[in-house]
Amino acid sequence: MTRRIITGLGLVTALCVPGQAVAEPAAPPAPRPLSLVLDGDSFSLRDAFAILDGRPVSARLAPSARATMARTRAGALAALEGQRVYGWNQALGPLKDRPLSAAEQERFQRNILRSHAAGVGDPLPDDVVRLALILKANQLARGRAGVRPEVPQRLLDLVNAGVVPRMPQIGSLGTGDLQPQAAAGLAAIGEDAPVRYRGQEGPASELLPRAGLTRDFTLLAGEALPIVSGSTVLTATLAHAVHRATVLADQAEGAFALFMEATRAERSSLDARTHAERHIPEQNAVAARLRAMVAGSRWMTDEGRRRLSPEPRIQDAVSVRAAPHILAGLRHTLADARRTLIREANSSTVNPLVFRRERGRGYEFVMGGNWDGSVMGHLADTLNAEIADVGVLSQELSGRLLSPRWSYGLPANLAGPPVGLNSGLVQVQTVAAALVPEMQVRATPAGTLSRPVKDGQEDHNTMAMASARDLHENLDRLEIVLAVQYLMAAQGIDLIAGEMAGLPLGAGTRTMLAELRRHVAALGDDRYQTPDLERVIQLVRDRRLVPPPATATAIVTVPQQR
């Protein structure tokens, strides 16, 4: 037994169980391994995003980087004879003025990792850990930290062998990611720090040999601090957020395009001339993508707008007319974040650094604060504010769909007939409304909440990892909020498809609606709503509702209205 439903595509045959997904297509072939040669200067975000997507990776140091590192190491050891250097022959933090003898320096390396590996909480995702290790190796490959090439290669050996250190999320203040990176360092030297390997979790001392790696690795003078110093975990975590937010930005635009179709929105709000007058490139691009998604739609014409509401309509609500500008704010911040991440990935961010003296007279150590994560932390806060604002916008748009007055004629609550006996999607929209205040609270900028620690030695802290963690939590929430908007906009389109007979949807919106309806049937009589919403949430998380690629570049001219 089958059930026939009307959608914007016409008659669609659904499964006999309302809302049940159809069979999934065969899994795509496994991606080709990513082969990286790290030189400290050319790591790309394309590579970072591939790693974050779980693509297998094999990484090694460039021969030129090895040679540079070996020269710098020799020069650093020579310079150490006449200079007191933090973390080499001097202790750390509040104990920085306590000298270390030559006999103590090797033992000190292990102690640095042990004392700093104090983080707690859920571990970072495996792909973020892999990226953090590769970023650390790439930064060390620049040859400014004074470590042997064997040190970054050991980190790459873990990645290549499929060994993932468990790096706890809580502890870093954005002043070098000390706790999570120390946990990775302990794993690299073969201590009992936990790692994951082929689905098993256990101490590195046991699992490294199973992965074909030597259990023990000895760090020499000055080689532990560069592992924990620097903001590579923050960089990897922010890169992950940027990658997620970019996909959600695409889907926010897709959900808005479906909303415009459902409400037969004012097409002139996308006019390229209007947006060009604002001189914001991202706004022009958003408007162009929206025009492409609704290209060919006759729902958003005078004829379509009068089918359900014969009175003339001008000036849709602010949330509708200003959406391209609002969504452009997220794109603008993402562009800033990408530029920053590229710099971070190919920079020396440890303390101290080793430089050749002028005129080639040996090397010298320079101590500073190059590990600080303020720029990335404030970017995470700004990006989080944009994500929260997109969540607010999405929730407002979903709310408009419930009201016949605000939606220009959609059935109340998006209920199937008879309305009243059926309550529709009002409680689905409440899910989004419940999440928005949480997003607004989590968008409070942690970067303004510095706390002095370590006997005043670290008296200003960026709190950047707190910012990054809040950002990821809000990305989780935005996935749900957008899923609500997708589900409700699709329902609005389906409910009035009969009245709009003969008028096509846009090219992109038609494709997105078809994909959603492959997994969730339109709502007629009320039914259990959680499974439907969870399916759409999964579609968002799996990037199945990203607008078709053609809409990214296609530009449709809006005729001048007379």
Q: Write out pLDDT tens, residues 375-405.
A: 999 999 999 999 999 999 999 999 999 999 9
What was the pLDDT predicted at 296? 95
Tell me: do 214 and 267 sit in the same domain. no
Lowest mean pLDDT among 122-136, 444-458, 510-524: 444-458
What was the pLDDT predicted at 260? 97
DSSP for 444-499, please give it: S-GGG----BTTTTB-----HHHHHHHHHHHHHHHHHHHHHHHHHHHHHHHHTTTT
Residue that finishes a domain, picked among 203, 229, 255 = 229
Q: Write out pLDDT tens, residues 114-147.
A: 988 889 999 999 999 999 999 999 999 999 999 9
* Average pLDDT of the chain to the nearest whole number: 88
Q: Do the domain assignments include residue 25?
A: no
Tell me: do 218 and 262 sit in the same domain. no
Q: Do the domain assignments include residue 8?
A: no
Q: Does 110 score more than 60 pLDDT?
A: yes
What is the arithmetic mean of pLDDT over 426-441?
97
What is the DSSP secondary structure assignment for residue 359, as one 8-state letter?
G
Which residues does 210 contact at the CB level (< 8 Å), separation at least 6?
A: 197
Tell me: do 468 and 531 sit in the same domain. yes
Tell me: do 174 and 110 sit in the same domain. yes
Residue that finishes a domain, picked among 197, 229, 261 = 229
Q: Does 554 score more than 60 pLDDT?
A: no
Query: Among 67, 510, 125, 100, which residue's Cα sits nearest to residue 294?
Result: 510
Which residues does 263 contact at the CB level (< 8 Å), separation at least 6?
A: 316, 320, 400, 401, 407, 408, 410, 492
Q: Does 70 score more than 90 pLDDT?
A: yes
Query: Among 260, 238, 204, 222, which residue's Cα sits nearest to residue 74?
Result: 222
CATH number for the domain spanning 168: value is: 1.10.275.10
Does residue 6 sit in helix, strand or coil?
strand
Residue that finishes a domain, picked among 229, 253, 281 = 229
Peptide bond into 547 cis (omega under 30): no
Q: Which residue has the tokens 């993402």?
A: 334
Tell me: do 212 and 310 sit in the same domain. no
What was the pLDDT predicted at 193? 94
Q: Does 453 score more than 80 pLDDT?
A: no
What was the pLDDT predicted at 369? 78
More confident residue, 20 or 267: 267
What was the pLDDT predicted at 100? 78
More confident residue, 519 or 11: 519
More confident residue, 408 or 549: 408
What was the pLDDT predicted at 26? 57
What was the pLDDT predicted at 451? 65
Does residue 360 sit in helix, strand or coil?
helix
Could you list the residue range(s) of the whole structural domain that residue 218 is in? Answer: 34-229
Percentage of the chain with pLDDT > 90? 71
Q: What band does 431 get if pLDDT is binned at 50, 70 and 90?
A: very high
Tell me: do 100 and 73 sit in the same domain. yes
Q: Does 11 score more than 50 pLDDT?
A: no
Q: Write out pLDDT tens, residues 484-505.
A: 999 999 999 999 999 999 999 9
Q: Write out pLDDT tens, residues 411-423.
A: 999 999 999 999 9
What was the pLDDT predicted at 95? 75
What was the pLDDT predicted at 379? 95
Q: Does 561 score more than 60 pLDDT?
A: no
Peptide bond into 123 cis (omega under 30): no
Q: Does 185 score more than 50 pLDDT?
A: yes
Tell me: do 269 and 208 sit in the same domain. no
What was the pLDDT predicted at 16? 32
Q: Write out pLDDT tens, residues 29-69.
A: 777 889 999 999 999 999 999 999 999 999 999 999 999 99
What was the pLDDT predicted at 311? 79
Tell me: do 401 and 338 sit in the same domain. yes
Strand 57-61 and strand 34-38: the pairing is parallel
What was the pLDDT predicted at 173? 77
Tell me: do 194 and 263 sit in the same domain. no
How far is Cα 503 from Cα 553, in angstroms, rounded to an integer?
25
Q: How many domains does the chain have?
A: 2
Q: What band does 107 get if pLDDT is binned at 50, 70 and 90?
A: confident
Tell me: do 325 and 383 sit in the same domain. yes
Does residue 5 sit in helix, strand or coil?
strand
Q: Does 341 score more than 70 pLDDT?
A: yes
Task: Locate 23 and state its tokens.
Answer: 């069979």
